[in-house]
């Protein structure tokens, strides 16, 4: 394998902070990022579940899509911008209320997932969308969105000029109350702009751990000050990529490039909820023929959650039926610190994708017992406001 030199990697605005904190720096999606800090993945994971973890996710792709010529009427402007992004995805963006955020999927013409992303309607009347895509796919995604926008809208990448921080865990809301009190009024999957001292920060109540929490976009020159302010709170510790992965796996959240990819459809990935009703009825998204047929039951494989006895089954491990015949493959697997056992996500044919089904996984050529269980493996604890 070719050696990757850290010098060739991009650094986030918080790189020096990670090094100073003893972070073990690894290459990830072209960036030099900490996989863990000195206390290790297990303690970082548990800290996030019990207190609040702070993640540098500046490698991701935050962006703003704004109309080139807004008419000034909020709903009409929103309808216009929704009409630009909707042909690429399967979500109902037109229906978003100001400040509302939605998880959606960028699709290719074969009905495969080109990326999963977050799209929020700007809270004010300025007719814009806030869009966050994955690090590994961001250049392709942004090219696609910019092409769809043409001269009707402008896509401004915020990666590079901003840092993106995630504050996650049951104490996150109490920590945020000290930083930007008004942001604690946000409900799960809503978004707004807030004052932080003399600066403006963009905050979404969302995350990738299954816990309550916030994702905070801050101008890069202010990133270290915000990072330091958050870490000054004894309830907050910095968390690396290792625990980010084990937390999202326990939360049953798919990881693009592993549990999602260009050949995997939303139905196969068990993300049917991301196909909004209006879009489904209209069938007006890329790959609709395949996706709607799969939704009616013509499905080759389906993503499931597995609890595994014994050694962790990692990505690529074969899933076997009870008799030992190969039926599928693990796409994410590891040890679940909150559960003290091995868990995995993987794909099996629909006839096997039954809760409670006793299967096996092959680890180092030995079959180990595995059972299909509901996901999330660890219950989500989002802060949902009653409507």
The answer to whether 342 contacts other proteins (rule: CB under 8 A) is yes
Element (H, E) at 106: strand 101-107
Q: Are 76 and 87 in contact (CB under 8 A)?
A: no
Instruction: Please state the closest distance from residue 35 (CB atom) to other proteins, in A.
Output: 7
Instruction: Please state the closest distance from residue 125 (CB atom) to other proteins, in A.
Output: 46
CA distance 337 to 343: 10
Which listed range, 95-103, 148-156, 198-206, 243-251, lies at the site for other proteins (CB under 8 A)?
243-251
Work out the angle at residue 165's Cα, subtended by the Cα atoms of residues 240 and 136, and round it to the nearest 5 degrees: 70
**Residue closer to other proteins (CB basis): 149 or 343:** 343
Q: Quick one: angle between helices 172-179 and 220-231, nearest 10?
A: 120
User: How much is the CA Rg of the chain, to the nearest whole Å?
Assistant: 21
For the segment 193-222, give every residue that binds other proteins (CB under 8 A). none
Q: Which one among 8, 22, 40, 200 touches other proteins, defined by CB under 8 A?
A: 40
Which listed range, 156-164, 174-182, 278-286, 309-317, lies at the site for other proteins (CB under 8 A)?
309-317
CA distance 244 to 242: 5
Which listed range, 122-130, 224-232, 252-260, 304-312, lies at the site for other proteins (CB under 8 A)?
304-312
**Residue closer to other proteins (CB basis): 40 or 374:** 40
**Residue closer to other proteins (CB basis): 113 or 313:** 313
- What are the backbone angles phi and psi of residue 67, rounded to the nearest 5°? -65, 140
CA distance 281 to 190: 26
Which listed range, 40-48, 110-118, 144-152, 202-210, lies at the site for other proteins (CB under 8 A)?
40-48
Question: Can you point out the beta strands (E) in the chain?
Answer: 10-11, 24-28, 31-36, 52-56, 61-67, 101-107, 113-121, 128-133, 153-157, 162-168, 191-196, 199-204, 213-219, 236-238, 302-308, 318-320, 326-336, 341-348, 358-363, 366-373
Residue 202 is classified by DSSP as E
The answer to whether 369 contacts other proteins (rule: CB under 8 A) is no
**Residue closer to other proteins (CB basis): 74 or 311:** 311
- Before 304, cis peptide (omega within 30)? no
**Residue closer to other proteins (CB basis): 43 or 108:** 43
Q: Are 44 and 228 in contact (CB under 8 A)?
A: no
CA distance 57 to 244: 10
For the segment 43-82, give every residue that binds other proteins (CB under 8 A). 43, 45
For the segment 279-298, give every residue that binds other proteins (CB under 8 A). none
**Residue closer to other proteins (CB basis): 62 or 242:** 242
**Residue closer to other proteins (CB basis): 43 or 229:** 43
Element (H, E) at 290: helix 288-295
**Closest by CA position to 29, among listed 135, 149, 186, 166:** 135
Which listed range, 4-12, 32-40, 175-183, 298-306, lies at the site for other proteins (CB under 8 A)?
32-40
Instruction: Please state the closest distance from residue 43 (CB atom) to other proteins, in A.
Output: 8
First to last CA, the chain: 52
- What are the backbone angles phi and psi of residue 303, rounded to the nearest 5°? -75, 135
Instruction: Please state the closest distance from residue 6 (CB atom) to other proteins, in A.
Output: 17
The answer to whether 37 contacts other proteins (rule: CB under 8 A) is no
Q: Using CB under 8 A, count the residues that bind other proteins.
A: 20
Instruction: Please state the closest distance from residue 371 (CB atom) to other proteins, in A.
Output: 18
For the segment 310-339, give every residue that binds other proteins (CB under 8 A). 310-312, 314, 334-335, 337
**Residue closer to other proteins (CB basis): 230 or 342:** 342
Task: Please state the three-class secondary structure of 62-83 as a single string.
Answer: EEEEEECCCCCCHHHHHHHHHH
Q: Which one among 36, 168, 184, 331 touches other proteins, defined by CB under 8 A?
A: 36
Residues that bind other proteins in the complex, under the rule CB under 8 A: 35-36, 40-43, 45, 242-243, 245-246, 310-312, 314, 334-335, 337, 342, 364
């Amino acid at each position: 394998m070719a050696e990757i030199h850290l010098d060739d990697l991009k650094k986030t605005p918080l790189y020096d902070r990670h090094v100073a904190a003893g972070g073990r720096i690894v290459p990830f999606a072209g960036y030099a990022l900490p996989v863990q800090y000195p206390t290790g993945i297990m303690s970082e994971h548990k800290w996030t579940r019990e207190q609040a973890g702070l993640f540098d996710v500046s490698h991701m792709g935050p962006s703003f899509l704004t109309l080139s010529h807004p008419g000034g009427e909020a709903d009409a402007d929103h309808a216009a911008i929704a009409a630009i992004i909707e042909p690429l995805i399967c979500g109902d963006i037109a229906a978003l209320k100001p400040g509302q955020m939605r998880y959606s999927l960028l699709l290719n013409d074969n009905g495969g997932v080109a990326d999963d992303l977050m799209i929020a309607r700007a809270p004010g009347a300025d007719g814009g969308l806030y869009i966050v895509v994955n690090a590994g796919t961001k250049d392709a995604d942004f090219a696609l969105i910019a092409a769809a926008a043409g001269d009707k809208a402008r896509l401004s990448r915020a990666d590079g000029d901003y840092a993106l921080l995630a504050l996650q865990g049951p104490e996150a809301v109490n920590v945020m109350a000290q930083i930007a009190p008004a942001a604690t009024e946000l409900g799960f999957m809503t978004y707004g702009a807030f004052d932080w001292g003399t600066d403006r920060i963009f905050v979404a109540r969302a995350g990738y751990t299954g816990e309550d929490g916030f994702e905070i976009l801050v101008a890069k020159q202010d990133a270290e000050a915000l990072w330091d302010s958050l870490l000054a709170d004894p309830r907050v510790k910095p968390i690396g990529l290792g625990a980010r992965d084990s937390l999202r796996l326990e939360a049953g959240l798919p990881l693009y490039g592993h549990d999602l990819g260009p050949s995997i459809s939303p139905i196969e990935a068990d993300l049917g909820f991301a196909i909004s009703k209006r879009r489904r009825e209209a069938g007006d998204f890329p790959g609709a023929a395949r996706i709607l047929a799969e939704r009616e039951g013509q499905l080759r494989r389906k993503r499931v959650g597995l609890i595994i006895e014994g050694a962790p089954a990692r990505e690529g491990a074969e899933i076997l039926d009870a008799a030992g015949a190969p039926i599928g493959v693990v796409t994410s697997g590891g040890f679940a610190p909150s559960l003290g056992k091995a868990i995995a996500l993987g794909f099996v044919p629909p006839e096997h994708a039954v809760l409670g089904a006793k299967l096996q996984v092959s680890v180092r050529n030995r079959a180990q017992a595995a059972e299909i269980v509901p996901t999330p493996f660890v219950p989500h604890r989002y802060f949902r406001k009653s409507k």
